[in-house]
Structure 1
């Protein structure tokens, strides 16, 4: 099932994609987060709607929003989760971690799958891309066993963890500022429920900039698989329905291209995971108030 948030008559609506058309379920659910929190009962309610021969409408891609439009908590992120990307690190004195490296992005980073992304030139001159698989949590849990972690997953999205490389290094080694620019985490194009994915640890993942492939990998190359990541996070904090976990980016970031390929205004960045879909965002001038 592919669940979306979209604009309908200037209002945020909730729908399900079926046969490349949208079926509106807003009468039952005010937002996608309410579907996630309803769990299996929410999916059953949607299936009843789908089985009732509902009206289907063509949806223009520009009306698509981030599937979860308003986050209740920061986006949880994993760094250095592909070995070749770890080997791209700026500091060679850092050893390969034996546990996932966790950081977060602010709630205001969320952007739509086709939304323009503002370039904050007064903040950074090293804006970079990071193609990632996003995991959406469906159940509350703590101290979760790795072998049971998949039971807590609701679904998956494409993500781009846009990063300010210079700022990442200028705040005492803390990445939060360099990762938390407004609109620096486009998500989508929809939330795919986990039953649609046969093996989440065997998904191709790509990033293109202006049509050129700059990242190409597979989730089977993750150092820490998704179940391990969830188990590790839940040792410290209770995971909640609607939590978003970015699972790391492969090698090929712009800073490490030869020559470097840092983003500039006008660039178009795409993230594609074939079994899930693709997002496409243009970098534009920031509208400074």
Structure 2
């Protein structure tokens, strides 16, 4: 099942993509795709609905983040050995954990905005995990029981802020628009093997990142289990699981985003994002 939220920013409605790729409205069934809707019982009820019976949405509306009221936006760093190598860093022995600000959340095709004074804004295509049930001290074997689905995340990062301005990584990760999520939230039964998904990212039509989740250092199950030992995971939390090689910082010469660039990125079975890079402007 592919769940979406569509419409103007702040006015999104819940929907789903049917088997023919058509957008269907869910607002007559649920209020939103939130913690209540992500609960295992709620997802099972949605799955049983005849999707063709739902109202068809005409046109091509904007997609927003595919879940409402994200609680925590947790990220795992250097989770692909080849990405760690291009960064000149050893593969971590335990997951590297940092947070993105909730205010960084962005629709999958909304513009990515360069912060004021940005010199080194970079891209990172990542598999996102969406938590569907409260998780504390869960085992790797049981981790799947707490996952509502998966999505595409672009962990946009300002490398100067992240690495050259002191302190933790967070301030290079949490700028406005630095967290595009979506287009869809795909429930686990629609994914054959989450540890065998192709990822890609193109900049101005040129392939920059090519990877597969099979090369993750820490698997989805390991990440969920590990995090649940340090914090309670709540329904609606999003976990970005790391990026494959090909980021701008790792290229020779380095290449960072500038106004007018276009990004296209996606994960097999989870959909695609397309975004334009724009200069900073104040929110309305």
What's the TM-score once normalised by structure 2's chain length? 0.93
Question: What is the match of residue 68 of structure 1?
Answer: 67
Q: Report the counterpart of residue 105 of structure 2 in structure 1.
A: 110
Question: Distance in 1 between the 2:10 and 2:153 partners?
Answer: 25
Q: How many residues align?
A: 282
Residue 59 of structure 1: CA displacement? 4.5
Cα root mean square deviation, aligned: 1.9
The alpha-carbon distance between structure 1 residues 147 and 48, as it changes in their structure 2 partners (threshold 3 A), is closer
Listed one character per residue, the Cα deviations across residues 33-57 of structure 1 (whole Å, up to 9, x for unaligned) are 14544x2332243245436723223
Of 117, 135, 141 in structure 2, the residue corresponding to residue 141 of structure 1 is 135
Match of 1:161 among 155, 164, 167: 155
SS in 2 for 1:147: coil
Runs of 5+ consecutive residues of structure 1 not aligned to the other structure: none
- CA 3–286 in structure 1, closer or farther in 2 if over 3 Å, else same: same
- 1:242 is matched with 236
Greater strand content: 1
For the structure 1 residues 109 and 45, does the alpha-carbon distance in structure 2 shift closer, same or farther, using more than 3 Å as the test? same
Separation in 2, partners of 1:247, 1:52: 34
Q: Distance in 2 between matches of 1:54 and 1:98?
A: 48
Aligned-partner Cα distance in 2 for 1:107–1:13: 20
- Asked whether the 8 Å contact 2:16–2:24 carries over to 1, the reply is yes
CA distance, structure 1, for counterparts of residue 145 and residue 254 of structure 2: 41
Q: Structure 2: how far apart are the matches of 1:152 and 1:269?
A: 32
1:42 matches 2:16: no
CA distance in 2, matches of 1:53, 1:4: 17
Match of 1:128 in 2: 122
Pick closer, same or farther for the CA change 1:24–1:9 going to 2, 3 Å: farther
Structure-1 residue corresponding to 2:17: 17
Checking the alignment, whether the CA contact within 8 Å between 1:162 and 1:184 is kept in structure 2 is yes
How far did 1:8 drift?
6.9
With 148-157 and 214-223 compared, the bigger mean Cα shift is at 148-157
Task: Tell me whether 16-25 or 6-15 shows the greater mean CA deviation.
Answer: 6-15
Partner of 1:269: 263
Distance 1:51 1:85, change over 3 A: closer
Q: Which residue of 2 aligns with 1:251?
A: 245
Give the deviation of 1:170 after TM superposition. Answer: 2.9
Aligned partners of 2:65 and 2:108 also within 8 Å: yes
Give, in angstroms, the shift of residue 270 of structure 1.
Answer: 1.5
Query: CA 1:30–1:160 in 2, change beyond 3 Å: closer, same or farther?
Result: same
Gaps of 5+ in 2: none
Q: Cα distance 1:263–1:10, how it changes in 2: closer, same or farther (>3 A)?
A: closer
Alpha-carbon shift at residue 172 of structure 1 (Å): 2.8
